[in-house]
Chains A and B, each alone.
Chain A
Amino acid sequence: MCESKFLGYSGHRLLKPLIRKNGTLVEVPFKEALVKAAEVLAEADYPLLYGWSSTSCEATRVGIELAEEVGGVIDNTSTVCHGPSVLGIQDVGISSCTLGQIRHRADLVIYWGSNPWSAHPRHIERYTTLSEGKFERSEWRSYVTKTKAATARKKVESALRQVSPKKKFPIPSTPVERGPCPAILKAGRKLIVIDVRKTRTAEIADYFIQVEPNKDYELLQAFRALIRDQEIETDKVAGVPVEYLEDVSDAMIGCNFGVIFFGLGLTMSKGKSRNVDAALRLARDLNARTKFVIMPMRGHFNVSGADTVFLWQTGYPYAVDFSSGYPRYNPGETSAIDVLLRKESDAALVIGSDPVSNFPRKAAEHLVNNPLIAIDPHMNATSQMADIVFPSAFVGIETSGTAYRMDHVPLPLKKVVEPPRGVLPDEEILRRLLLEVRKVKKRKKAQAEVK
């Protein structure tokens, strides 16, 4: 991570608690914001507590206790990201491992619907093709050769364009690699990319398959059939000639240790959790022929942590509804966006995420049209539209905590600098909110008994 990004974290910083009065957000003392937020949550009939993926596990633990206390729905960003993967795992299971196993052993790496070059910049270097392992060497040499060749090609094209600017050179539409898959013939680590367009990662791959958009499921089922030595009747599946699929499935069967990393290309295209279901089954079926694992490429830095804490405390990974006194889980029914689209919630607390800027418009509207509490270090779209705002400290910079890597390995987050004065960590804010909510509820109960 470059220094300027790291040290520039303090831009657009929230420094004081805010409450919306007469349409504008004004600074207020912490206690005032706390009491108001507690009242909002304690009185709500169906509150939503959302986010959790950019905060520490310790904060999430308090969050769950709070959701249980107020009888609300607590959900994390899995619901918009790898929720479908979770659903797939719940039906199929998953053959997986920690990232080190891949570094040491994997000689076939497939990225499907995921572009780590842009989204997980250190992934390839640390864990896959360009890493050094006990049993497999790095492929950096072949990468360098490929990149040099690609750069040279681009220089030639650019020179040609300068020579005759008016002549239009046909811009090659992202071409599908024709020809047999060289990966099966190569020794050492092999990289295959499967995606709807040729991404930066695809450029350094040994083989690239361009799948027709929304046809990943068909491609996965085709692979599943091929690895069982079954025949495919059609000539093409998802726009890819079957001979090339046969080559790739030979590469899968012939490797020593293969891995599929998949991203939103699978979870968010047509089929969603069933796409992941098919991918999980493919990896599982391959274990009858060789060692094969599969792993989702998680997004937010601690969404794994949020899922993990939710699981051990409630038994479910996300979309947990406490309204009837015990945890209930049913994505589609108890997930944040669905609750918002059906206009069921009557208050919300958002922490460690920015739903107003990335939820479907109608969901964001409902969020904003009801009392909204935001806890965030920054001023963002959600905190701008909130009714009560709490400034919080950055986890991993201004406060310590635990986070979980995408392969569920727990890592400590360190405190490096002090937060600005008056700015508390998420965990502390939530703890005080929980205490205040209990006070409010006790008061209301006493009042009700008097009547």
Chain B
Amino acid sequence: MELLVKNGFVYDPLNGVNGEKMDIAVRDGKIVESVNERRARKINASGMAVMPGGVDIHTHIAGSEVNTGRLLRPEDHFRDFESKTSVTRAGVGRSIPSTFTTGYRYARMGYTTIMNPSMPPLEAKHTHEELNDTPMLDKASYPLLGNWWFVLEYLAQGKIKECARHIAWIMSSTKGYAIKIVNPGGLEAWGFGHNVKGLDDQVPYFCTTPREIIRGLCKANKLLNLPHTIHVHANNLGKPGNYTTTLETLKCVEDLATEDKPVIHLTHCQFSAFKGDDWRTLESGAEEIANYMNGHSHATMDMGQVIFTDTTTMTADGPFQYALYGLTGNKWVNHDVETETSGGIVPFRYHRKSYVHAVQWSIGLELALLIKDPWRIFMTTDHPNGGPFTSYPKIIAWLISKKAREASLKRINARARSRSLLPSMDRELSLYEIATVTRAGQARALGLKNKGHLGVGADADIAVYNVNPETTDISRKYRTVRRAFRRAAYTVKGGELVVKDGAILKHVDGHTMWLDVKVSEPARITGDMKRRFKDYWTVEYENYPVNEDHLKGLDPITVKARV
């Protein structure tokens, strides 16, 4: 099957293409040098911006936590639904859409690859079943390892290599993609209702600290040669004054950055960039964090932008979620997973007129604009925590246009506005930079070789947006840009045209990528795990790894570890 996207203004930052008018040729699901123009299906992209399909590095869309979130919010689903058509399945939306609707809504915005960042290893099969039912996208998932008893025990003994080997086992068993760390040590403490307060707090019952966990896993990650860095949700999330914890977290692995590559990804940084002593004196810590990021190159982050809407918070950070319940009195779900992790869900509404929420809104944008290198700060909302992913076009508008920011600033809490750095910031991102923060940068940080770019050999995942860079002043006409990114003119997935003018043409399944990590002595690890299983978990060893029966579209990526 051959396709030719003609005459568009191409933005391909990974290959240095900045708005050049060129054709993109596709054959059999890959980008190729050229195709036979007469035979190929042609897509007329003249007057439009052509980008690689969107890549979302952190979005909660599948697994036990997300599904319990769906259970918790029938009143959300009641008001937002999609009927069955001859091409699409029915579903419901708002902050936690059902799986089919999730896929369709991402595809309509030109997204083609998404990463589900929280997978309790014991429930990995559930995550994969839901990913299988999420159409239109390629996806992967990160197992939660920062509180895993094996990690805590080996790191307490200083056995980094053993730890790394066991991580290789669990990564391949759960078909995961990266090491996810949430509130290291804190989730284990939450098993008895406690938490940790700082990087050097002792984790109860286990002789280790969050600092040791983060450093240990960073070293293990390097030994294993994993394509992405450790993906960290910092301690003390959501607490006023936590920006110091965030800086310490970034600093604690500074010395481990030996090659010229990042070694840590700090996720949804907005929630971890609070200055102040309490909610009344809350301020933005974005400037301090941005200064650090501008002076060091070993870290990447994503925004975790807040949107003024009703949404649902869900993270593996059990104690944080309980605190949110305390603040709001809303319904609260808690789900601790034996040996591994925890989780919590609380519906939440962000109000413009609330001082705290308005400060949070400002922090996300300040981070994106103050950190100079767009290759190291990515656009996310930590869906659905900051807001639904369908609000991405709004954030793009704020990033490219000071006017858009001013329009929103006018309506927020006055005290927050007077404290915000945004009025004094003139920076506006270009389309090239948007392509970086919404696709190219994320793909590079994830180590995805064939995603996020339009070079020959890449997967043919292409998004065409109806905005003409030659005739549109994107800063003034931000509404046009917002509209364009809300409903892609065309989305191509794996070489097939699947969306036109924001409508789904075809339901396609994507692939689930996972790492098949090869270590030097796999059999020994298997024997070791089998022995310990009965003590630690309540499932049989044979039933724990995700078996491939009944899962489709699995796409293993072989990784050769250095251990």
Contacts and interface: CB of A to CB of B under 8 A. Distances in A.
Interface residues of B, number: 59
A47 to B, nearest CB: 15
A413 to B, nearest CB: 10
Contact of A313 (B100, B125, B339, B547): B100
Nearest to B93: A315
A224 to B, nearest CB: 15
Contact of A311 (B70, B82, B535, B536): B70
Contacts of A420: none
Interface stretch (A12-20, A228-236, A267-275, A401-409): A401-409
A308 B338 contact: no
Nearest to A103: B538
A412 B334 contact: no
Nearest to B124: A410
B71 A317 contact: yes
B186 to A, nearest CB: 14
A326 B82 contact: yes
A100 B71 contact: no
Interface stretch (A184-192, A209-217, A286-294): A286-294
B72 A408 contact: no
Nearest to A71: B84
Interface stretch (A37-45, A91-99, A338-346): A91-99
A182 interface: no
B89 A68 contact: yes
A52 interface: no
B90 A322 contact: yes
Interface in A26-83: 57-58, 61, 65, 68
Interface in B85-117: 89-92, 96-100
Contact of A93 (B72, B83, B96, B543): B72
A314 B90 contact: yes
Contact of A327 (B71, B91, B338, B538): B91
B331 A92 contact: yes
B191 A89 contact: no
B172 interface: no
A104 interface: yes
B359 to A, nearest CB: 27
B207 to A, nearest CB: 15
A408 B64 CA distance: 8
Task: Give the residue among A127, A312, A313, A411 with the most B Cβ atoms within 10 A.
Answer: A312
B125 A402 contact: yes
Contacts of A5: none
Nearest to B322: A287
B254 interface: no
A96 B81 contact: no
Contacts of A105: 191-192
Contacts of B122: 98, 100, 409
Interface stretch (B15-23, B126-134, B498-506): B126-134
A103 B191 CA distance: 12
B135 to A, nearest CB: 12
A412 B338 CA distance: 18
Given A312-B99, A314-B90, A96 B334 contact: yes
Contacts of A380: none
B7 to A, nearest CB: 39
Contact of B193 (A91, A287, A402, A412): A287
Interface residues of A, number: 58
A97 B133 CA distance: 25
Contacts of A325: 83-84, 90
A409 B122 CA distance: 7
A257 interface: yes
Nearest to A65: B89
A99 B338 contact: yes
A284 B68 CA distance: 17
A312 B133 contact: yes
Given A58-B550, A291-B193, A402-B129, A97 B99 contact: no
A97 B538 contact: no
B549 interface: yes
B331 A57 contact: no
Interface in B320-343: 322, 325, 330-339, 342
B328 to A, nearest CB: 11
Contacts of B430: none
B287 interface: no
B335 A314 contact: no
A86 B82 contact: no
Contact of A86 (B71, B81, B346): B71
Nearest to A309: B129
Nearest to B347: A93
A134 interface: yes
A184 B349 CA distance: 41
A313 B99 contact: yes
Given A291-B192, A293-B336, A411-B539, A312 B331 contact: no
A72 to B, nearest CB: 12
A110 B159 CA distance: 40
Contacts of B345: 93
Contacts of B62: 312
B250 to A, nearest CB: 32
B550 to A, nearest CB: 5
A90 interface: yes
B334 A57 contact: no
Given A98-B538, A103-B338, A105-B192, A308 B84 contact: no
Interface string A382-424: 0000000000000000001110100011111000000000000
A235 B346 CA distance: 38
Contacts of A291: 191-193
11 contacts: A65-B89, A92-B331, A93-B325, A98-B338, A291-B191, A293-B336, A312-B66, A312-B99, A313-B133, A325-B84, A408-B123
Given A284-B325, A291-B192, 8 more contacts: A90-B72, A100-B536, A293-B336, A311-B67, A312-B62, A325-B83, A401-B550, A412-B547
